[in-house]
């Protein structure tokens, strides 16, 4: 049964145009072609990336955070409470009816229950140092990957003339630089997928998983089907903006607001040009239109372009978030990552400040000026 599935999976008509077989892509006359077995090494390399990341974050990112004066915000811990902790395990945001019921069960006031849940949620949020270390690692990889990617493709004819991407396809020999570029990029995305559960969780967590899976499938499939020239262009295009976003995050966590905002504007411009203009109107046009001039459409052609559409849909989603942040920048508000959970303020400090300004407490609450609106 396994042999039957294996033969169906590697059926030439799924991966290659008509009248071509895997025998046509056997190494000969000094020409080397991509092989599926080459990608096995990416899994152990992904775990090696996780080890290198740990060492980088410990011995490079952490001291760098100290130099940039990345400061943790003091978080008040929630007092131990078995009743509230048990409910917290089921939902982190109790409704008002739940708050009142929990107040009766725990012997606390409703206000104390709400404060306990705010503090407990803040405890589970990643620290500023964790965010900085993660952004530093990704910034370093994306920057080096972009430089390496440009070095791999900038002197190639298909970088300047996209029709050259398909010249002689699929009988296109693979270069050593293309081999390592693919292996390193795929290994890195495997490492991102393996670590996503422990990384900083953002509001687009599901979209991130879809992106990593789609990227891994695209890179792997383009390797199997010898779409290597198109694949190197797509990977370099994506890396061109990612390192800018991660550097903006680093400066944001360090409190360098003006630097962060300036880098973010550059990132937004690069992202929109590369992901919403160059990718759909140049690269996808190249992968959708030009191949049909050489051979009839086959399953691999449809599958590859379908995955490109999935990636493009994610780009549109993220472009929407970027534009929202750009609007905040233009209106003078601080630019923040729309995908991040915001830290919830604890009202204890607010009460103390209000008490100092307005006098003693009444029934445990500060006497507020009628013109003052207290926010949570």
Which residues constitute the domain of residue 105? 82-124
Total domains, the chain? 2
pLDDT(350) > 60:
no
Query: How much is the pLDDT for 23?
Result: 79
Residue 171, domain member (yes or no): yes
- pLDDT tens string 323-347: 888 777 666 655 455 555 455 555 5
Residue 364, domain member (yes or no): no
Encoding tokens for residue 123? 């405890």
Helix (H, G, I), strand (E, B) or coil at 158: helix
pLDDT-based confidence at residue 34 (cuts at 50, 70, 90): confident
**CATH (domain of 95):** 1.10.10.60
Encoding tokens for residue 168? 């002689």
Query: How much is the pLDDT for 328?
Result: 76
Query: How much is the pLDDT for 362?
Result: 34
Residue 298, domain member (yes or no): yes
Partners of 366 in the β-ladder: 361
Query: How much is the pLDDT for 277?
Result: 95
User: Is the sign of the CA dihedral 338, 73, 330, 68 positive or negative?
Assistant: negative
- pLDDT tens string 160-206: 999 999 988 878 888 999 999 999 999 999 999 999 888 877 776 78
What is d(CA 35, CA 32) in angstroms, rounded to the nearest whole number? 9
φ, ψ dihedrals at 48, nearest 5°:
-65, -40
Separation in Å, CA 44 to CA 47, 60, 184: 5, 23, 11
Residue 13, domain member (yes or no): no
Percent of the chain with pLDDT over 70: 86
Q: Are residues 97 and 176 in the same domain?
A: no
pLDDT(294) > 80:
yes
H or E element in which residue 151 lies = helix 128-153
pTM for the whole thing? 0.78
pLDDT(226) > 80:
yes
Q: Are residues 61 and 36 in the same domain?
A: yes
Q: Are residues 87 and 51 in the same domain?
A: no
Residue 357, domain member (yes or no): no
Average pLDDT over residues 288-309: 90
- pLDDT tens string 131-158: 999 999 999 999 999 999 999 999 999 9
Question: Which of 312, 331, 350 represents a domain boundary (last residue)?
Answer: 331
Residue 307, domain member (yes or no): yes
Q: Are residues 90 and 187 in the same domain?
A: no
Residue 281, domain member (yes or no): yes
Q: Are residues 187 and 91 in the same domain?
A: no
Q: Are residues 99 and 240 in the same domain?
A: no
**Mean pLDDT for the chain overall:** 83
Helix (H, G, I), strand (E, B) or coil at 340: coil
Encoding tokens for residue 96? 């008002």
First to last CA, the chain: 61
Residue 52, domain member (yes or no): yes
Query: How much is the pLDDT for 334?
Result: 52
pLDDT(348) > 50:
no
Of residues 355 and 290, which shows the higher confidence score?
Answer: 290
Q: Are residues 241 and 218 in the same domain?
A: yes
Q: Are residues 175 and 95 in the same domain?
A: no
Average pLDDT over residues 67-78: 78
Q: Are residues 59 and 112 in the same domain?
A: no
- Between 153-167, 255-269, 290-304, 345-359, the lowest mean confidence (pLDDT) is in 345-359
Query: How much is the pLDDT for 85?
Result: 81
Q: Are residues 213 and 314 in the same domain?
A: yes
Q: Are residues 62 and 191 in the same domain?
A: yes
Residues contacting 263, CB < 8 A, separation 6+? 244, 247, 248, 251
Q: Are residues 139 and 282 in the same domain?
A: yes
């Amino acid at each position: 049964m396994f042999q039957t599935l294996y033969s169906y999976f590697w059926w030439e008509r799924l991966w290659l145009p008509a009248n071509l077989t895997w025998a046509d892509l056997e190494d000969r006359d000094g020409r080397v072609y991509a092989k599926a077995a080459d990608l096995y090494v990416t899994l152990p390399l992904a775990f090696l990336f996780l080890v290198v990341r740990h060492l980088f974050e410990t011995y490079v990112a952490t001291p760098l955070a100290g130099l940039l004066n990345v400061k943790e915000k003091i978080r008040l811990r929630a007092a131990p409470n078995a009743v509230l902790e048990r409910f917290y395990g089921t939902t982190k945001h109790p409704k008002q009816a739940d708050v009142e019921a929990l107040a009766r069960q725990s012997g606390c006031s409703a206000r104390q229950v709400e404060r306990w849940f705010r503090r407990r949620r803040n405890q589970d949020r990643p620290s500023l140092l964790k965010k900085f270390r993660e952004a530093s690692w990704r910034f370093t990889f994306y920057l080096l990957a972009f430089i390496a990617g440009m070095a791999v493709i900038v002197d190639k004819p298909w970088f300047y003339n996209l029709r050259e991407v398909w010249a002689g396809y699929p009988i296109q020999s693979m270069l050593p630089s293309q081999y390592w570029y693919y292996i390193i990029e795929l290994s890195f995305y495997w490492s991102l997928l393996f670590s996503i559960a422990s990384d900083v969780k953002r509001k687009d967590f599901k979209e991130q998983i879809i992106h990593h899976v789609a990227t891994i499938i695209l890179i792997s499939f383009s390797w199997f089907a010898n779409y290597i020239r198109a694949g190197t262009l797509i990977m370099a295009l994506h890396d061109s903006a990612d390192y800018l976003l991660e550097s903006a995050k680093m400066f944001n966590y360090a409190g360098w607001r003006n630097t962060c905002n300036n880098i973010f504007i550059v990132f937004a411009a690069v992202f929109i040009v590369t992901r919403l203009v160059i990718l759909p109107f140049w690269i996808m046009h190249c992968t959708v239109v030009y191949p049909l001039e050489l051979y009839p459409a086959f399953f691999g052609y449809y599958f590859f372009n379908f995955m490109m559409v999935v990636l493009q849909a994610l780009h549109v989603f993220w472009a929407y978030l970027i534009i929202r942040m750009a609007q905040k920048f233009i209106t003078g508000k601080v630019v923040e990552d729309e995908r991040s959970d915001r830290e919830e303020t604890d009202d204890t400090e607010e009460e103390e400040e209000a008490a100092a300004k307005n006098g003693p407490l009444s029934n445990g609450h500060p006497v507020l000026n009628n013109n003052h609106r207290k926010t949570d």
